Amino acid sequence: MFKKILFVLLGVVLTLLTIILVNTFRLGNTQIEPETIAEVDWDRNAMLDRFSRAIQYKTISGDEDDMRDTTEFNAFLDFIEWEYPLVHERLDRIYFNDFTPLYYWEGSDPSLNPILLMGHYDVVPVDSTDIEGWEYGPFSGQIADGYLWGRGTLDNKNNVMSLLETMEYLLSVDYQPSRSFYVSFGHDEEIGGDEGARAISRYFQDNNITLNYVLDEGGAVITDNPMMGERVAMVGIAEKGYLSLELTARTRGGHSSSPPNEMAIVKLSDAISKLDNNQFPAAIDGATESMFEAIASKLPFHIRMVYGNRWATNGLMTRMMANDPSLAPMVRTTTAPTILRAGVKDNVLPNEARGVVNFRLIPGETFDSVKEHVISVIDDEDITISDYGPIQVPPSMVSPVNSPNYRDLQQAIMDQFQDLYVMPYLVTGATDSRYFTGITDQIYRFSPVEFSMDDMGIIHGTGEKISIESYLGTIDFYVHLIQKSTE
């Protein structure tokens, strides 16, 4: 009897092991082989010179209450009009709220829905306390040490200038697209995009224009992606929503020498602690699931084995990601207290304490579901919950990775960068592309630039720069992509 039980148990173990190994090795490979492309036949020194001068315009978007220096924005628009004469002579264009241009290149086949390529030329302010940390001036546009330096070189004048170079080049060789396409350059992306991208979206809606696909900033080529340990092109196929709520606790004030049982600051602290201790549920689905599907066969064996057998490991894998601060935003709506206000004097108990909590909503979440979670978790009638700030952005849809448009984008990336993997992912920040949900069901977020994980910190930080090789390759990429998408 004992031997029979042992053989049965051994059979069960071998069966389970076989299932695990089969599931591990049958993970598909969604990568494609690269092809070669020709470099753009253009004066590359002149391209760099134009990019350098573009960086020198201080097109800064500060806080929403700050006054825009319209002189710099107008000067930049005059500069690109002068430097790209074919673009501004042959293509139709409209300006939205004076500063966001939308260019239109009409194709030969009106039955094809147009595409939209996006960039923005406004930049974030420079931290005045860290000017000495810049090796070259933040608006110098200095070309040195194999890089072009300055605010906007990575976010996002690189896209703007390379798209202008691309259009000028294609016009110079009399390229004729079959599919029409638009190119837009936002002037207020860093403060929400309301006057730029949102206005363009309304224009498309008012004129019943349906787009084939949209390509905006978002992902890039990371040379040392931590999941793969090598070069990975990250293409955003969805982005999280944005909602801030203000929590207000009110109690009787008084003298600090006789504190009552209930104090506003304590009640507010308790409410925030409850939210921190009761995070939103986590799940590997949507864009994050598409990410793993794309790269699973290339992951280390032990991770492949875990992912390939989610029938048994899903809970473990989800918890592991949810407990890692760098991965948690990919699997759940995040909760982040950001502002606290209370009190006027150290010996006076405040009548009121206020706190702002920012939520980044995963696709599938809604404003109402977030508020229901907050109310349920806090469970205190003395805490008032209200919307905070002018920005409320629902999470985007998840764009498909099995469409011809995504495959064209993937092919163009492979052709340009050759030896790497293309990985769809969930963008945890916000881009102007969010305004075009409903105008197309295919929105992708990728800038054809290459940098390391360490360099990600300079995008809004000190010492922003782009390698000369990477910038010039951006122009080759856009020429190739436009031809693939519009022929």
Q: What pLDDT is recorded for position 216?
A: 97
> What mean pLDDT is predicted for residues 228-249?
92
Which one is predicted more confidently, 145 or 62?
A: 145
Which range has the worst mean pLDDT, 15-29, 33-47, 360-374, 385-399? 15-29
Whether 298 has a pLDDT exceeding 80, the answer reads no
**β-strand pairing of 443-451 with 214-225:** parallel
> What mean pLDDT is predicted for residues 239-267?
87
Which range has the worst mean pLDDT, 73-77, 125-129, 353-357? 125-129
Catalytic residue among 122, 239, 415, 455: 122
Q: What pLDDT is recorded for position 63?
A: 66
**pLDDT band at 1; cut points 50, 70, 90:** low
| Cα-trace Rg, the chain | 26
Whether 23 has a pLDDT exceeding 70, the answer reads no
**pLDDT band at 4; cut points 50, 70, 90:** low
Residue 309 preceded by cis peptide, ω within 30: no
In the chain, CATH 3.40.630.10 covers 44-230+396-486
Q: What pLDDT is recorded for position 17?
A: 56
Structure tokens at 29: 């490979």
Q: What pLDDT is recorded for position 27?
A: 54
Q: What is the pTM of this model?
A: 0.89
**Of 298, 241, 284, which is closest to residue 423 (Cα–Cα)?**
298
CA distance 352 to 115: 51
Q: What pLDDT is recorded for position 258?
A: 75
- Give helix then strand counts, H and E, for the chain: 13, 17
Pick among 3.30.70.360, 1.20.120.530, 3.40.1080.10, 3.40.50.720: CATH of 241-387: 3.30.70.360
122 assigned to active site = yes
Does domain 44-230+396-486 match CATH 1.10.286.10? no
For the chain, the average pLDDT equals 89
**pLDDT band at 65; cut points 50, 70, 90:** low
> What mean pLDDT is predicted for residues 44-57?
96
Whether 26 has a pLDDT exceeding 60, the answer reads no
> What mean pLDDT is predicted for residues 90-97?
97
Whether 3 has a pLDDT exceeding 90, the answer reads no
Task: Return the half-sphere exposure (C-beta side, CA atoms, 13 A cut-off) of residue 235.
Answer: 30
Q: Percentage of residues in the chain with pLDDT exceeding 90?
A: 65
Q: What pLDDT is recorded for position 10?
A: 59
Q: Residue 407 in contact with residue 30, Cβ under 8 Å?
A: no
Residue 163, classed as helix, strand or coil, is helix
Q: What pLDDT is recorded for position 38?
A: 74
In the chain, CATH 3.30.70.360 covers 241-387
* pLDDT tens digits, one per residue of 439-479: 999 999 999 999 888 887 788 889 999 999 999 999 999 99
Catalytic residue among 155, 168, 189, 195: 189
